[in-house]
Each structure stands twice: as structure tokens, then as C-alpha cells.
Amino acid sequence: MIKEIKTALLARAQAIAKLGVLALGLSTMLACSATQVSVHDPVMTKEGDTWYLFSTGPGITFYSSKNMRDWTPEGQVFTQQPEWARSVAPTFDGHVWAPDVHFHKGLYYLYYSVSGFGKNTSGIGVTVNKTLNPGSPDYRWVDRGLVLQSVPLRDNWNAIDPNIVEDGQGAAWMAFGSFWSGLKLVKLNQDRTALAEPQEWHAIASRSAVPGAATQAAGKDDIEAPFIFRKGDYYYLFVSFGYCCRKGDSTYYLAVGRSRSVTGPYLDKDGIDMQQGGGSTLIRGNAAWRGLGHNSAYSFDGKDYLVLHAYETADNFLQKLKVMEMRWDAQGWPVVDAADLDRYQSSVVAPK
């Protein structure tokens, strides 16, 4: 009798184990088949217990999340085109590029770009809101208009890809740029909606040691998307080298330099000035993930994160959101684990 009971219990345990394996397999299949967040140029911030993600897209697409992994679509920031957009960029098609979100004195500032691909008929604007929660009665974007414009043949730089950073005195600076003569840094006024006067400009990174004269063509200096992250005694300048938006032929990758001053010079690990072509590689793509780039960087809850997009080879090179923990080596340089490209899998959650 005891032997029969043991046999029955063993059979039951084996059946439960099989069910557990089947359940695990089913959950894995569901996770793999879940729709991931498809974004270009992601930036992020946190309000209360909710993270918000903004990216390039029609009117600026944005999402909310409670855990930085499951994201709910929240629609568009702009339901209509910015009024000034076509006067600056005649070929503007409604896709607003490369936003950056910045919090200051109770307001959220969302900087953005309008342009035409491969042209520097471009402008950077800013819109402001009291909250990022679309369900709040205080939710309302107020566009403050054009901050900076680039004009072909007049300017040998491109007014796109803005990023805002504060210096040690609380002043705001805007890094920006793409191709042409490289990346620039300009001081903003106290309202953070226009350039400070008198103007203060700095060249912070370029692929060419001696930039040429202003031209209509973007040139071959494949550098863009600056993001400055302050950590300890240094300001770290992240940039994207290479070419985006070419599916499997995309050559985008991330490089970094650092400076003790927000205005530079930003030196790489070998001491080469990024304005003279320097920049230490942080991470490149691999067989599974191409075109890594246009990153942002943040500290949340005691950890540092790198946020970027990458093209998934297995999904016809569709751009996907990646959030990677950023650690620091003994010399104080950022380090990320390429395995996190596979580990981090976002999912799109339907609004409740």
C-alpha cells in the first residue's frame, strides 16, 4: 500500500513538473512574441513613480511605464505641426526629430528638431508642460517656439539633436549638431527658451581636425546626437559615429569623451580632443543588433542607465528600444555589457 502511495505521489510530482515546464515555455513564447517598443532617438525622464519615454516620430511619440520595461503608448506631443516649422524647414513632413526632456523649476521642457533629411535647413524648438501625465488637469504643452536655426551656406553646422545640461553654477547649455563641422555647445538664457546674450558658443566634437567652409552638403563627418552626462568630477560627452537609418547597412555606434568643464575640451581615453577627431568606442553593433546609437544617459534610483535604439536583424532591422545599466571602470569610464542588448526586451502595453 505504501509503495502504491509513493508511486502515485511520484507520478503527480512528475505531472506538476511537466506543467511547470509547459507554463514556462508558454510564458517565454508570449514574451518573445510581445510587441517591443519601436523608437528612434529615445530620451527618458521620471515623474513620481512613472517613467516617460519620448522619441522621433509624427508629433513626437511618447510612452509611460512603471518599470522601464512595459510601456503604454500615450499618443503625440504635437497634435498639429509647430507653427514655425515650415518657415525654417520647407520640406518638414510632420516627423519631429530627436527630442530631449529637461526638468527645471517645476516645468518640463521638451526640446525638439525640425529638418529635412541630409539638409541643414533646420531648427530647434522647445515646448513646456507642468506635468507629463496626460490624465492630469494640468497637462498642456505650450510651445515656446524656435530656439536656434541653421541656414545653408551661412552656417556650417546643423541645428538638430538638442541636449540640455546644467553646469556647476546652474546655468543651462544646449549641445547639438549633426555632420557638417560637428557638434556645438551654446549657453541658454535663464528661461531656457532662447540663447543667452551675449552669446557664448563652443565647438566640442568633430570628425575632422580642420572643419571646412559652410556647404549645402552634409559632408563625410559622420558625427551627431551629443548627450552630456555629469558624473562625479566629469562631464561625459556621448556621441554617435557612423550612419543611421540604413537598416542592415547602418554603421552607427557610440563613442565617449570627458571633461572637467562643461565647455570642454572633451578628451577620450587616449587624451585626444574630440574636437580633433577623438572619441573612445563605448559599444558597437553585432550580428543580432545593428545601428546602435542616438543615446541618452540617466541616473534612476541609484543606478546609471544608457538608453538607445538598435536595429534587430531578426526583425528586418526594425528599430527597438534598449535600456542598459551603465557601470564605471577603475579609471572612471562608462562600461556597458553588450549582452544587455538581448537581455532587455521591452513590451508595448495597451492603455487601460
In the prediction, which pLDDT does 212 show?
Answer: 67
Higher pLDDT, 4 or 86: 86
135 and 8 within one domain: no
264 and 205 within one domain: yes
59 and 21 within one domain: no
User: Strand, coil or helix: what is 189?
Assistant: coil
148 and 25 within one domain: no
Q: What is the mean pLDDT of the chain?
A: 90
Per-residue pLDDT averaged across 20-30, rounded? 35
**102: which residues sit within 8 A by CB, 6+ positions away?**
108, 109, 110, 111, 164, 172, 192
In the prediction, which pLDDT does 219 show?
Answer: 80
163 and 26 within one domain: no
Residue whose C-alpha is closest to residue 240's, from 220, 229, 256: 256
Structurally, the chain folds into a number of domains equal to 2
13 and 96 within one domain: no
Residue whose C-alpha is closest to residue 148's, from 172, 171, 128, 176: 176
92 and 22 within one domain: no
Read off the pLDDT of residues 45-85 as tens digits, 9 standing for 90 and up: 999 999 999 999 999 999 999 999 999 999 999 999 999 99
79 and 5 within one domain: no
Q: Which residues are catalytic?
A: 41, 224
185 and 85 within one domain: yes
Per-residue pLDDT averaged across 278-302, rounded? 97
Per-residue pLDDT averaged across 174-194, rounded? 97
Read off the pLDDT of residues 93-142 as tens digits, 9 standing for 90 and up: 999 999 999 999 999 999 999 998 889 999 999 999 999 999 999 999 99
Per-residue pLDDT averaged across 340-351, rounded? 96
- Is the CA virtual torsion 243, 244, 249, 252 positive or negative? positive
CATH number of the domain encompassing residue 126: 2.115.10.20
225 and 190 within one domain: yes
In the prediction, which pLDDT does 3 show?
Answer: 39
173 and 322 within one domain: yes
Q: How confident is the model at residue 209 (pLDDT cuts 50, 70, 90)?
A: low
| Residue-number span of the structural domain to which 44 is assigned | 38-348
116 and 8 within one domain: no
Across 114-118, 199-203, 231-235, 307-311, least confident range: 114-118
